[in-house]
Amino acid sequence: MSKKLVPMLGILLSIAGTVCAQQSRNAVPTVDDQFFDLPHFSIGEAYHIDLGKGNYLELELTDLTQLSRFLNLDSLLLVFLSDMKPFKDSLTDPLSGKRIDYLIDTAGRKMVRTRESRSAGTSFLLGEGDPSLLRLRQDTIYILLAAPPGTAKKPGPQRYDRLTIVLNRYSGLENWVATGLNTKMQELVPNGKNYTWSNGMNTQYLLKDPSIRTKRDSIYANAHSNNYLSLDAIVSLQNYKNYLTPSVDLGVTIGLHDGNNVHALGLFWEPLFLFGSDTKGRLQTFRNDLLVFHYAFDVAGTQKDPLAPVGLNTNISVGYFIRRSGDYFEKDSWRLTAGEIKFRGSRILLQPCIYFNNLFKDVTPGLRLCYKAF
């Protein structure tokens, strides 16, 4: 193969890898995507290290004190390669693009997810002799290490450091060990005069080694920090005394971000339906309307555990009966909910509640089962 052709193929692979990464980021994340992805607000320092021929590393840290975990990168890669030996046979397809997510949690447990993708067509390199198959998909490895407690400036959700490895072929990773990667990592350690950066366009380059630059385009440092407005619809089924009553919540929610904290304020109209018989014994529907104020508190970017069957939400809602039909509710009746158990990623909710009137007279406990339509 011509020497001039090698850099050109590296550039093609780099472009293809960038396109794939953009498509992945724009896709709707699944539950396991959230589990193997970085929680928002994890990253305080990020670097891009160009290794040539389209290969590169990206190091994303909660803060610079975490750099010490990656200084002996050769040892980390040897541990990774050893853990991946059981999957070696399933990663031998020379034409598929491979993605490997490798996560170590705070308890030291290791979790791996592997994915392979193929192009719709087949590409060939034409030259002297027979055509050669051309592989335009790079392989990507994400190594996530749970950051020790107390590394963040403010208390918040579990944070992770991440090393991203993008290379032309996964099978070539073993050849990276003992090729100077530890030296690359060592150059990131602040050491006086040798630790000098040059300002570029929206980034900085290390003067000693221009292949190392800061990474300012990480979506994790500032993503999802904006306030928001959402329209909500909730279908629920609850008990009131010996009645089973359906209802529909329609309203609007305003989300206010304060660093990692999210405060959600909602206002809902909720028609609640009861069924009974009139004086002639005919079935009749009685609609009672509530005006509901809702407040919820959450921490942005909390790492979701797909193995956890249930979770808890911190919220409170107060509803006042603005319309009464039938003789089910007294004048000045209210409903109060506090806290909820969530299932299936907050789509299904179970809320304890109480009904009362005139400042907690005639208190009646209840339970609401809710489904968030959107």
CA-nearest of 65, 46, 37 to 151 is: 65
Cα 207 from Cα 230, distance rounded (Å): 47
**Domain tally for the chain?**
2
219 falls within a domain: no
Q: Which of 127-131, 245-249, 284-288 has the lowest mean pLDDT?
A: 127-131
Same domain? 61 vs 186: yes
Same domain? 152 vs 268: no
Q: Of the residues 214, 238, 255, which one is the last residue of a structural domain?
A: 214
222 falls within a domain: no
221 falls within a domain: no
Residue 137's pLDDT is: 79
Domain that holds residue 152: 5-214
| pLDDT tens digits, 296-327 | 987 654 444 444 567 778 889 999 999 999 88
CA-nearest of 224, 184, 218, 222 to 202 is: 218
Same domain? 125 vs 153: yes
Residue 106 pLDDT > 80, yes or no? yes
Strands 228-240 and 55-61, sheet pairing: unpaired
Beta strands in 304-360, from DSSP E residues, in sequence order: 310-323, 333-343, 348-357
311 falls within a domain: yes
Whole-model pTM? 0.54
Same domain? 62 vs 147: yes
Same domain? 186 vs 322: no
Q: Which of 190-204, 299-313, 321-335, 356-370 has the lowest mean pLDDT?
A: 299-313
For residue 334, what is the domain's CATH number? 2.40.160
**Hey, what are 239's tokens?**
């008990």
Name the DSSP class of 328: S
Same domain? 189 vs 263: no
Q: Of the residues 189, 214, 239, which one is the last residue of a structural domain?
A: 214
Which residue has 């090698």 as its token pair? Answer: 6
In this prediction, residue 57 has a pLDDT band, given cuts at 50, 70 and 90, of very high
Q: Which helix (H) or strand (E) holds 33?
A: helix 31-36
Residue 333's pLDDT is: 94
Same domain? 75 vs 201: yes
Cα 71 from Cα 141, distance rounded (Å): 18
Percent of the chain with pLDDT over 90: 40
| Residues facing 55 on adjacent strands | 52
Phi, psi of 54 (to 5 degrees): 85, -5
